[in-house]
Chain A
Amino acid sequence: MRTDRSAVRLLGLLPLATLAALTALAAAWPELGRAGVRPRAGGELLVALPATPRQLDPALATSAADQIAARAVHATLLEVDAWGGLRPGLLAALPEAEPGGRAFRCRLRPGLRFHDGSPLGAAEVAASLARLLQPTTRSPHAWVALPIEGAEAVRTGRAGALSGVQVLSPTELRIALAVPFPDFPRVLAALPSAVVPRSGGGRIGAGPFQVAQPSADLPARPGAGAAAQGALRVVPFDGHWRGRPYLDALSLVGLDAREAARTFGRGEVLVAIRPEPIPQAAMLELPALSATYASVNRARLAGRAEPVRRALAAINRVELVRLFVRGPAAPLHGLLPAAALGGGQTPPSPPAPPPSGDAGRLTLLVSSDAPFHRAVADRLQVKLFDRGVKVAVEAVPAEVFAVRAQRKDYDLALLEVPLQTVTPVPAALQAAFALDGPATALESLAALGTADRGALPAHLASLEERLDAVPLFAAALRVSARPGAVQGLLPGADGGIDFGDVWLLSQRSGNGAP
């Protein structure tokens, strides 16, 4: 393990409680996180996910399964280690901030290449950042490039490139921001900022694994059970900047809870990343960064918005989490979850306000593909009815939900925001973008970007008021691994797993004397 002093320095940016939690997280996973033996190459790992990954484009991946797969295929400029520190990824060193925190100089490692052999240089970084904003991409992660000068012109189609990104040489670039944002390097560690080739459709990257061929055409893996059928199978990329991964192949497959437990019990699946615990597994909870909000469309509800919002705010979120959320979760009593803010005591839910009177019949839009969101929506329906708000739940497919959410085509909606960073300001930027669009996000960044730590809670509370979103809960997934079989499975503080570090211990001999 390389000692990364700069990463340690950057730990100062994290709240102490978060740091303690992260340290505890790493320590709780010793068997799988740190090996006392040298990694062994070879073997194929089948991982059970909530769904089979379909979207590998880091600019578009939003579900947990897609993001896990996208992280295996793509590489970011910076990375977050298990303790929350930043370390160089594709960059040779951490970005150098210019005075004022409005510009950063970045230098790439030499000789970087994509899976298809094409070179990865500063021009590709600039293009990838612009791509996030381009209207044709329709990326829900445009917030990553939003702080960069010229973002608005690209976002509205008036420019193809970001004026704030200067390519200084094939491996150097300067990124100028529209507002001071010292935490901008944290954004460059978020998965959506991964660098993609200008023609790749998101399936070609520079990550540790590459998609060899369409998974449907793959020959059956020798010894593979039925669980592997239809899995996304990726193979090692020899040219990854950290070196070839240990595994010979990684297969990611969507299995429901029962099937995941069954195949895990048979030894066919060695790792499951799902909300539910799996018997006989070594387990680790990833940080609860998937925040769910009840968004109130003030533009549509006008005067009815405030009573509805107050009714939503009065709902007992502790109970909501306990009864309806599967897997590890925590009630949200502020805009950001503890994992991104520093935790602390969970405040009690506010007392229920008096009935608000008839606000008319509203529609609560929910994605039918989001796990347990339908159950949560039904609960909200009941609780809102108790407070005089009549709501009809409308469940739509994820694709439809995404379009309607972006257009704000709803009265109320359950919005899930998979936060990509564990640092408050970038997380708030993402939440503001997801809940209220780019203008609010940029304005919030102007207020938050240079706010000192003491003033941050007030700024976040103010932003929460403005967003017309009631935070409900933050959920996480569990990583379950077969004890003694899998090594190197140490997630970053942001929940990201580098499967390139994972190796199989199976068939090793015991430790007995000969």
Chain B
Amino acid sequence: MFLGGVTGRTWAAPPGAPEPGALHRAAAELAERFVAGAEGRSRVTLLVLASAREELRSAAETALASALTQRGLTVSVLPAREAPQAESVARTEGADWLLRVRPVLGAGGRELTLSGEGLITAANFFLQRAQAPRPRPTHLLTATVPADQEVRQLGRDPRDLDTHGERRIGIRPLWKIEGRVLALAAGDVGDRAVSLVAVTAEAVLLYSAQGELLDRRGTEKLTPGPPVRDPAATVAVGDFGGGRIAYRLAGAAEGEVLAVPFDPGAPRPARLSLAAALPAAPLCAGSAGPLFGAFVPGRSALADRLEPRFDPAGRPRSPREYQVVAAAPRPGRVAYAALGTDDALQLLGPALEPLGPPVQGIGAGFALADLDGSGEPELVASSAEPGVQDRVRVLRLAGSTPETIFESPTVSGSILAGAAADLTGDGLDDAILAALVPGTAPGVSVTQLYLVTGDPRGTP
């Protein structure tokens, strides 16, 4: 185990040393803060309280004991089962301090927090007569660091894991939308809550994460362009200047940027308002920023233009055409994915550099979503086979070749659009897929939304 030196409030490893794990960084940070307020007293009884998993508690106990010892303290570790009488035990042992710590894996498994309180237990004039009041208040300490794979493995609730120790992924139906959803996007649209934006040929629909229709904006006033036989659209939620929603219908002369004015004093529902016209097709937006492109005139396919900043005079890089482009909501090696009209999906890095050979056999409804908190997005993909039923696969992209980690039973409908965001509020991405299903009457289309998530609770 390595513990480096202290530089101000930041723990840094010496040059050339391996990077310590998240648990040790958090322990070092907490120990540093504790030492700063320990008033030179060196005997400590350490009690690490029960966490969601014993493995995480036990590892935190070891790391903290080590970090405190490294700082010259004499540490006595108290078993968790003795928590109720910890203070008296500490006094009996002659400790100066009782340090109680609870490790918590929060923010959907992305953050490790050690929350502690230091109680002085050294004998003094007052405590000779009574155990309370203490001579000084409890010393509260916290240390939060980004979780790493090791911590996530230690902290996972076994009920959420499958037999291979992976986060248990499931698919469940959400709500239905009248008409055919051409494009989906999700994220914070400006009112500081996760919303879902669905685009049909007739309207842009804004939904809350619970499926409440917050607002609808008709597309009938869009200036028509060359008509397209198969309706298509792009939509993205991100920073588009005057608004956070941008969409474009194939067959329309231009797209729109929509704003959802945020009024902290006003409850939802939010309202969509036009912020600006958009000459480009907003392909997607994620942690690496938005991408812009253009529909092939008179077609529902996208030209080979994937541009962080749209150049109205720009030209396609190649004759290749795309069906859909998606972005990963969180930073990672894979930032974008572009699905060609040949059903081959090219994974792209943050600078749009190709990552490996194309993934074959991907349907039009797909999303990049970090379902398991691994720090890399998974590919949530529909089938590339035509039919009235579909199935969903989740492919892990971390390795050199994608690996299927989940495959759903057949689901009703044909999945034609997808999006990713934390819809369940567990801190991890979820994928939302839109499947075209038969309506209640001939000729009427209905879209069924599905949620692909590792959160056993589903949407809040």
A residues in contact (CB < 8 Å) with B: 1-5, 7-8, 11, 19, 22-23, 26, 30-31, 34-41, 81-85, 238, 240-246, 487, 500-501, 505, 507-514
Contact = CB atoms under 8 A, between A and B. Distances in A.
Nearest to B298: A244
Contact of B179 (A3, A7, A38): A3
Given A1-B443, A509-B360, 8 more contacts: A30-B388, A36-B363, A240-B227, A243-B299, A508-B384, A510-B385, A511-B361, A511-B385
Contacts of B251: 243
Contacts of B231: 1-2
A39 B300 contact: yes
Given A3-B179, A509-B384, A37 B364 contact: yes
- Nearest 8 A-B pairs (CB), nearest first? A36-B414, A83-B442, A243-B229, A35-B386, A243-B227, A243-B228, A509-B360, A513-B404
Contact of B443 (A30, A83, A238, A246): A83
A5 B299 CA distance: 25
8 contacts: A1-B231, A3-B178, A11-B443, A30-B388, A36-B382, A241-B227, A242-B229, A509-B361
B198 to A, nearest CB: 14
- For B201, B229, B393, B445, which residue has the most chain A Cβ atoms within 10 angstroms? B229
Provide the main secondary structure of the chain B interface.
loop
A509 B342 contact: yes
- Residue from the set B202, B361, B364 with the largest chain A CB neighbour count within 10 Å: B361
Interface string B211-253: 0000000000000001111111000000000000000000100
Contact of B386 (A7, A37, A244): A37
B387 A36 contact: yes
Contacts of B442: 8, 11, 19, 22-23, 26, 82-85
A34 B386 contact: yes
B165 interface: no
A152 to B, nearest CB: 38
Given A508-B342, A512-B361, A34 B414 contact: yes
A31 B414 CA distance: 12
B404 A30 contact: no
A31 B387 contact: yes
B229 A36 contact: no
Contacts of B344: 509
Nearest to A500: B229
Contacts of A23: 442
A240 B229 CA distance: 9
A31 to B, nearest CB: 7
B395 A514 contact: yes
A256 B387 CA distance: 32
Interface residues of B, number: 52
A514 B360 contact: yes
Nearest to B403: A513
A85 B179 CA distance: 17
A19 B442 CA distance: 9
Nearest to A36: B414
B401 interface: yes
Nearest to A1: B445
B416 A1 contact: no
Given A26-B442, A38-B323, A514-B360, A245 B229 contact: yes
The CB with the most chain B CB atoms within 10 A, among A82, A240, A514, is that of A514
A501 B444 contact: no
A382 to B, nearest CB: 45
Interface string B431-449: 0000010010111110000
Interface in B64-90: none
Contacts, number: 142
B227 A38 contact: no
Contacts of B180: 1-3
Nearest to B251: A243
A2 B232 CA distance: 11
Given A83-B443, A243-B227, A505-B386, A35 B414 contact: yes
Interface string B399-427: 00110100000000111100000000000
B361 A510 contact: yes
A19 B229 CA distance: 26
B171 to A, nearest CB: 16
Contacts of A82: 442-443
B386 A243 contact: no
Contact of A243 (B298, B364, B390, B416): B298
Interface in B183-222: 201-202
A514 B381 CA distance: 12
A85 B361 CA distance: 36
Contacts of A81: 443
Nearest to A84: B442
Contacts of B161: none
B364 A38 contact: yes
Contacts of B445: 1-3
Contacts of B342: 40, 507-509
B341 interface: yes
Nearest to A2: B201
B31 interface: no
Interface in B290-320: 298-301
Contacts of A511: 361, 383-385
A153 B393 CA distance: 68
A495 to B, nearest CB: 17
A36 B383 contact: yes
A36 B416 contact: yes
B386 A31 contact: yes
Contacts of A501: 229
Interface in B340-388: 341-344, 359-361, 363-364, 382-388
Most chain A beta carbons < 10 A, residue from B301, B387, B436: B387
Contacts of A22: 442
A466 to B, nearest CB: 36
A101 to B, nearest CB: 24
A271 B255 CA distance: 39
A38 B416 contact: yes
Contact of A3 (B382, B387, B444): B444
Most chain B Cβ neighbours within 10 Å, of A23, A41, A84, A241: A41
Interface in B11-39: none
Contacts of B389: 36
Contact of A514 (B178, B300, B361, B416): B361
Contacts of B227: 240-243
Contacts of A84: 442
A85 B441 CA distance: 11
Contact of A41 (B178, B301, B390): B301
Nearest to A487: B386
B300 to A, nearest CB: 7
A92 B341 CA distance: 31
Contacts of B439: 3
Contacts of A510: 360-361, 384-385
A373 to B, nearest CB: 35
A508 B363 CA distance: 11
B105 to A, nearest CB: 31
A500 B323 CA distance: 19
A235 to B, nearest CB: 14
A8 B443 contact: yes
A37 B389 CA distance: 11
A40 B341 contact: yes
A7 B298 contact: no
**Max chain B C-beta neighbours (<10 A), residue from A38, A85, A501, A513:** A38
Given A3-B179, A37-B364, A511-B361, A243 B226 contact: yes
A8 B439 CA distance: 12
Nearest to B228: A243
A36 B178 contact: no
Most buried by B among A3, A242, A500: A3
A3 B202 CA distance: 9
A35 B299 CA distance: 17
Contact of B401 (A1, A40, A505, A514): A514
B444 A36 contact: no
A514 B388 contact: no
